[in-house]
Structure 1
Amino acid sequence: MNGKELATRTLIQSSVVAALVLVLLTLLYAAEVFLVVFAGVLLAILFHNTAAWLHTTTGLPEKWSTAIALVFPFLALGMLIWFMAPDISNQAGELTDRVPKALKELEKQLRSYKWADRLIDQGGQMQDALPSGSKAFDLVSGLFSSTFGALGNLVIALAIGVFIAAMPRTYLSGLIHLIPIKHRDRTRAVLQATRSALASWLTAKLIAMAVIGCLTTLGLWLLEIDLALVLGIIAALLSFVPNIGPIVALVPALLIAFVSGPDQAMYVIALYAAIQTFESYILTPLLQQRMVDLPPALTITMQVLFGFLAGALGIIVATPLTAAAMVMIKMWYIEDILGDRSLESK
């Protein structure tokens, strides 16, 4: 190898390293933007798969199937809100009133124990050290800004999902043309495998969310726990986030039940534990063929990492992002770079 070839090779390697560093820095400092785009891609996959199912099942043209897939979810959501909004709104408002009362009742019960009384007093001393006055106003303002920021992210993700689902081939073709010609076929195969994995994961997760929501609502209703509908909706939505979501969903139900007595609280804990056991050992295995097998430790690690980088949004999309990364690592790194094809059939 002569000096010119060595210099050219060194320049190429340096450029690749610099590009990777630039991408990593961009993801680090603009993690929320990246995650919003990824959320939009998830929605696009959901819309596109719905359109493909309609096209295959009904024989409608692709354009009509896509139009229905894009419009129908919003119409269905609007109708659901129209018919159920009063009940949901009333129960949600009552929930916000009852949770503070339940916390006070819980504090009253706990203060009957000396060790708990000391812990509560220490917590009160820490609360007194929190900012007050204008600083407290800044904290409240930050809370409102983060809430509106979440709504803005949702709107942006929906817009991205709709536009990509409307013209998927345009965006895929544009992305493929950025890849060197000799690597385009492999890149297309990897992206297709990633899309299939995410589509299967989304389908299975939506089924599981619906089942968990219905079982939770029915179980709380049978236990005569107030606000069963809104608590079931909370359980369904939070089950999208593995590990963390079910624990968070239990808290308001447990507080509401505790007001009726410790026995009711124990019944609620047993109900949620039974539902999670059913989901983990019966429902998930039935849907396993539709889902990417994610090790729990890896999922929790990614949730913590992306939660640190982008807050709640990072926790929400950490699991599907991990599933996509596993497919890409398997095909590009393990199979292509390491030459290990032993996982191809797994």
Structure 2
Amino acid sequence: MSDKNHKGQHLRITVPQIFMVVGITAGVAVTLLFLWYAIPVLLLVFAGILLAILLHGLSDWIARRTFLSYGWSLTFVVLDLMTLFAVGLSLVAPDVADQAYHLSQQLPEALKRLEQYFAQYTWGQELLALIDKDLMPSREFMLTQASNIFSSTLNVLTSFIIILFIGLYGAAQPRLYVEGITQLVPIRRRQRVRTVLHQVGQTLLWWLFGRMISMTIVGMLTVPGLWLLGIPHILTLGLLAGLLTFIPYIGPVLSVVPAALLALLQSPIQVVNVLLLYLFLQSFEGYLLTPLVQKRTVAMPPVLTISVQVLFGTLLGFFGLMLATPLVAALMVLVRMLYVEDILGNSSKEKL
């Protein structure tokens, strides 16, 4: 009997312990809920950090090779990029806007022709019935979406301004923010943290350079390729192909859709030609350009990259889809340096 009482005393849970467990559970739940709602803001901050890394990399390169200080180099980079953007916009925007308008007028006709093609087959009729029943938005939904265009545009402009200011302030005083992070760790680990942050910054910088090079080359090669095939609106489609190259693997798939639909207005053979053109361009980018850039950064496994893109795209929309890959690149550097090297003790220079 005494042994049972002794065990019961050890198993007895006191009221303070209950309150402690409840408090910890509530704190974890509140923290997770806060992080969930803060994810869009954190993505904006991360996008601003990417811009800051790009501006800092360009400015530091100029400052180390010229007589200009870092501050004047940053000013030169910002003014140069603004001028380049303004000149390019004034030269290309009118044609792109006109082609985009005509493209929006022709895509419904292409979709109608695609629907007529599917209607010739039994499986196609079943697919169209499924789409009409479950996937096609209602009229009320379309009206609601149309009424939200203004607010969506305002949100995009607001996000752009936030990213711009975070990028400018981050590039103007990068050491201030790096040292602010290092102050949060013990003194003996601060130099290691500086090394890790520097490596993350270099990885993201080379990733950005690689994406910019790939975007430019794919966009420039798409325009003459579509012109040779006789596809209309080549400037808009080329610009779209270049921009969507920013998103590895998934972006090229999205970019081929409008071009293939326009080709369908001409003939099924043109659809095949367009698909072959885009396949060639993306193979050139994926098997030649990207591996060259990944020599200076991390080689990200395609399955991991696509999985994260789908996850972020599903949970956070197109903005999450865009930033999924650089987030994976940064996380892989952190895992390699802080876990594989520091905790596991693997000092090899092999990248993950």
TM bucket (normalised to shorter chain) is 0.7 to 0.9
- Counterpart position of 2:36: 28
Is the CA contact (8 Å cut-off) linking 2:336 and 2:351 kept in structure 1? no
2:169 corresponds to 1:167: no
Distance 1:116 1:174 in 2: 60
Secondary structure at 2:43's aligned position in 1?
A: helix
CA offsets per residue over residues 242-287 of structure 1, 9 Å max, x none?
1110000000000011101111111000000111111122222232
Q: Deviations over 1:52-109 (max 9, x none)?
A: 1222333322221110112211221111111111111111111111111111122223
Q: Who is 2:46 aligned against?
A: 38
* Cα distance, 1:335 vs structure 2: 1.4
Q: Which moved more, 1:155-164 or 1:318-327?
A: 155-164
Deviation of 1:336 after TM superposition, in Å, equals 1.4
Deviation of residue 126 (structure 1)? 3.2
Deviation, 1:136, is: 4.5
Query: What residue identity is the alignment partner of 2:115?
Result: E
TM-score normalised per structure 2: 0.86
Opposite residue 316 of structure 1, the aligned amino acid is M
Give the match for residue 296 of structure 1: 302
- The more displaced of 191-200 and 275-284 is 275-284
Q: Does 1:122 align with 2:130?
A: yes
The residue number in structure 2 matching 1:48 is 56
> TM-score with structure 1 length normalisation?
0.88
Alignment RMSD:
2.4
Given that 1:204 and 1:291 are in contact with CA atoms closer than 8 Å, whether structure 2 keeps it comes out as: no
Tell me the equivalent position of 1:312.
318
1:69 to 70, 74, 77: 77
Which of 104, 108, 112 is equivalent to 1:104? 112
Pair 1:185–1:21, CA change in 2 (3 A)? farther
1:336 to 335, 339, 342: 342
2:232 matches 1:263: no
Deviation of residue 185 (structure 1)? 0.9
SS of the residue corresponding to residue 212 of structure 2 reads: helix
2:287 is the alignment partner of 1:281: yes
- Amino acid of the structure 2 residue aligned with 1:306: F
Match of 1:228 in 2: 234
Whether the 8 Å CA contact 2:259–2:274 is kept in 1: the answer is: yes
- Greater RCO between the two (CA within 8 Å, min separation 6)? 1
How many angstroms does 1:20 deviate by? 8.4
Q: Deviations over 1:139-169 (max 9, x none)?
A: 4344553443233222211110011111112
Change in CA separation of 1:20 and 1:161 when aligned onto 2, cut-off 3 Å: farther
Structure 2 CA distance for partners of 1:329 and 1:345, relative to 1, 3 Å: closer
Distance, in Å, in 1 between the alignment partners of 2:47 and 2:25 is 28
Partner of 1:113: 121
Unaligned ranges ≥5, structure 2: 1-23
Measured in 2, the distance between the counterparts of 1:157 and 1:146 equals 16
Change (3 A) 1:147 1:330: same
Distance 1:345 1:125, change over 3 A: closer
Q: Which amino acid aligns with 1:173?
A: E
The unaligned stretches of length 5 or more in structure 1 are 1-15
Do the aligned residues in 1 keep the contact of 2:59 with 2:77 (CA within 8 Å)?
A: yes
Distance 1:136 1:207, change over 3 A: closer
For the residue of structure 1 that corresponds to 2:120, the secondary structure is coil
Cα 1:224–1:142 change in 2 (3 A) is: same
Residue identity matched to 2:129: D
Give the whole-Å Cα distance in 2 for the aligned partners of 1:18 and 1:54. Answer: 51
Q: CA deviation at 1:110?
A: 2.7
Amino acid corresponding to residue 180 of structure 1 in structure 2: P
Deviates more, 1:246-255 or 1:26-35: 26-35
Counting only pairs closer than 5 Å after superposition, residues 194-213 of structure 1 correspond to structure 2 as 194-213=200-219
Q: Which has the larger radius of gyration?
A: 2
Q: Which residue of 1 aligns with 2:195?
A: 189
State the AA in 1 paired with 2:92.
Answer: M
Equivalent position amino acid for 2:121 in 1? Y
Cα distance in structure 1, aligned partners of 2:351 and 2:126: 58
Partners of 1:203 and 1:76 in 2: CA distance:
17
Kept in 2: contact 1:99–1:256 (CA 8 A): yes
Give yes or no for the alignment of 1:237 onto 2:243: yes
Task: Provide the identity percentage.
Answer: 42
Q: Is 1:249–2:225 an aligned residue pair?
A: no
Distance 1:62 1:32 in 2: 32
Q: How far apart are the structure 1 equivalents of 2:42 and 2:194?
A: 21
* Equivalent of 2:91 in 83, 93, 112: 83
1:239–1:245 Cα contact (<8 Å) kept: yes
